[in-house]
Homo-oligomer: A and B are copies of this chain.
Amino acid sequence: MSLQDANPLQEAFAISLPLETNLEPHLRNALQHVLSNEGSMVRPQIIIDLCAAYAFPEDNARQLAIALEYFHTASLIFDDLPCMDDAVERRGAPCVHVEFGEPSAILAALALINRAYALVWRAMSACPAPLQAVAMQYVEEHLGVSGLLNGQSLDLNYSALPHTLETTQRVAMGKTVSLIRLTLVLPAIICGAPPRELQLLDRIAVFWGLSYQIVDDLKDVLQGSGETGKTTSRDLSLDRPNVALLVGVHAALERLDRLLRLGDRALDRLLLQRPATTFLAKLRGTLQQEMRHVTESACAGRSQGGS
């Protein structure tokens, strides 16, 4: 099902923000660039599969999936700006601000956000008012000052914070877990999943989100280690939170392993309650494979004298 759906979902990403003929050309070009360079689409596919597990109408599921991918894409455009991470490349193409200037990048990101709220709204129109209220509060909480925005601000201002595991976790909870919660829990809220399943999905989102962040931290620390035999790190030079920098590669790997096992436990329980969420077990496999790959890099790095 995932393979069959890959193309329709990419197409939905490209066409769900209609660009009228009278749109100002700079903004149009920036948006066309964004809409034709979609990401891996793993997140929207999870939403489609999750909604299917709860027999939620397909059209509404797709609206929700694209909405979340638009929010995510907008957050990347802002993160990449010169005043934030000052990135030059994203999704294999030049960043929007590099190609079309900062104003058009900002306006394009705002256009994605505006459209995303409208799509969430439409997706939710299929469910009862009390669920809509809970879902909207969930969106607000995880995108706003209690979620993603706080995470991004903590990340940018990490140098002013105590460099502890607790701080790195606060950043990851805001910046990474918020969007994964919106991917795993919000669809289930909208589908009317029972509280026990929401709780298990929330635990999976937290453990996988924190795991995902550690894998990212390890990659950052180990990148180029094959060639140099030494660790190189962008997080180190920018003074950004990184678990592997803080406690070392070995302890980070142990922590990752523990988090994945906690996630497994929650997932096993969810599968008993809702066998149709078995697609999540495949995703867990991908995460574990990635962990194994990172572990091997770490061992190779160490055997060459790196730490």
Contact = CB atoms under 8 A, between A and B. Distances in A.
Contact of A118 (B125, B137, B152): B137
Interface in A226-284: none
Interface string A150-191: 101110110010000000001000000000000000000000
Contacts of A20: 145-146
Contacts of A118: 136-137, 139-140, 144
Contact of A78 (B22, B106, B115, B139): B106
A52 interface: no
A113 interface: yes
Nearest to A104: B153
A47 interface: no
Interface string A118-146: 10011001000100010011011001111
Interface stretch (A23-31, A53-61, A205-213): A23-31
Q: Is the interface of A mostly helix, strand, loop or mixed?
A: helix
Nearest to A152: B107
Contacts of A83: 101-103, 106
A146 to B, nearest CB: 6
Contacts of A87: none
A285 to B, nearest CB: 34
Given A115-B144, A125-B133, A150 B106 contact: no
Nearest to A105: B83
A129 to B, nearest CB: 7
A113 B106 CA distance: 14
Q: Which of A27, A102, A117 has the most CB of B within 10 A?
A: A117
Give the size category of A's interface with B: 35 or more
A102 B129 CA distance: 38
Contacts of A113: 110, 113
A145 B81 contact: no
Contacts of A24: 150, 153-154, 157
Q: Which of A17, A19, A110, A113 has the most CB of B within 10 A?
A: A110
Contacts of A153: 23-24, 26-27, 103-104, 107
A149 interface: yes
Nearest to A85: B103
Contacts of A198: none
Given A24-B154, A104-B153, A115-B144, 11 more contacts: A20-B146, A25-B160, A27-B145, A83-B101, A84-B103, A107-B152, A107-B153, A111-B145, A113-B113, A114-B149, A118-B144
30 contacts: A19-B145, A20-B145, A20-B146, A22-B170, A23-B145, A24-B153, A24-B154, A24-B157, A25-B160, A26-B157, A27-B153, A81-B102, A81-B106, A83-B103, A84-B106, A103-B153, A107-B152, A111-B144, A111-B145, A111-B149, A114-B140, A114-B143, A117-B117, A118-B137, A118-B139, A118-B144, A121-B136, A122-B136, A125-B129, A125-B133
